[in-house]
Amino acid sequence: MKTSLRLMFFGDLVGKPGRALFKKWAPVLKKEHKVDAIIVNGENASDIGRGLSPDNANFLLEAGASAITSGNHIWANKNIYEYINNQPHLIRPANYLSSCPGKGFVFIDVNGYEVAIVNLLGRIFLKEQLDCPFRTIESLLSHLNSRTKLICVDFHAEATSEKEGLGFFLDGKVSAVLGTHTHVQTADEKILPAGTGYISDLGFAGSIHSMLGMRKEEIIKKLIVQMPVKFVVDEKGPFSISGVWLDIDVDSGITTQIERFCIIDNDLII
């Protein structure tokens, strides 16, 4: 039996390009890197690049995702409210109120091992009124540890300081802390001193010459005139999709290897 599991995490998928990139590249990368399970952040996977619908979520699960994490845009499509109550493999940040639909974690089966995937939302520079992500995960750990040592956290947060803080706070307590939300892949993947895999941001899937997956013209106008504009998903190539894969020791739960990837795609057909 294998002594480690290899998991692959993809950053925020944006709109139709993000979904198309995931469908195209997830099976290729899974085979190439001998990946055991794939987790993807899908909170921007709708056609408008904000929120996701039940059809979007089903698409990602059918395309190879074992779990879908989210963030501050999870409630943008109201059709997701009932769906997330009935589809445990789509999770929302655990530090939303417990009365909110859905759950903040899921246990997935990976080669006969239980792996916990947890979603948290940062508070620095974000408008949502949330429970503390540090206290939330701390209160969850006893329940998670009663079933598995294999615990990976998607921390959807704006500030690198908050992400690094959670990484060190959880070092040795979880297998990995992986940042999402900023859509810009960072070059700081590492294994923290007590064995937790870490990266500040996984990046995104979308148009390379966009602004975080959106057409740059409208956003530049907003920055200049400071008036509301409608953001539109950029569907012009070239495109990229990024994330990390990591190896987790099944006995200790620590990460033994972490590597980021970024695929440039000049030929994607949406």
Question: pLDDT tens digits, residue range 108-136?
Answer: 999 999 999 999 999 999 877 799 999 99
E strand intervals along 144-235: 151-156, 176-180, 190-191, 197-199, 204-207
The mean per-residue pLDDT over the stretch 212-241 comes to: 95
Annotated domain spans of the chain: 4-265
pLDDT at 129: 78
Going by their DSSP bridges, the two strands 67-69 and 37-41 should be labelled as parallel
- Asked if pLDDT for residue 2 goes beyond 80, the answer is no
Sorted by sequence, the CB contacts under 8 Å of residue 194 that are 6+ apart come out as 171, 172, 254
The one catalytic residue in 73, 156, 181, 183 is 73
CB burial string 101-126: b at 16+ within 10 A, e below = ebbbbbbbebeebebbbbbbbbbeeb
Burial of 1 (0-12, 13-18, 19+ CB in 10 A): exposed
Q: Is 156 marked active-site?
A: no
Whole-number average pLDDT of the chain: 97
Q: What is the pLDDT of residues 26-73, one digit of tens each?
A: 999 999 999 999 999 999 999 999 999 999 999 999 999 999 999 999
pLDDT at 179: 98
Both structure tokens of 47 = 């056609």
pLDDT at 131: 95
The CATH H-level (homologous superfamily) assignment of domain 4-265 is Metallo-dependent phosphatases (3.60.21.10)
The mean per-residue pLDDT over the stretch 171-183 comes to: 98
For residue 193, cis peptide bond before it (omega within 30 degrees of 0): no
pLDDT at 1: 62
Q: Quick check: pTM over 0.85?
A: yes
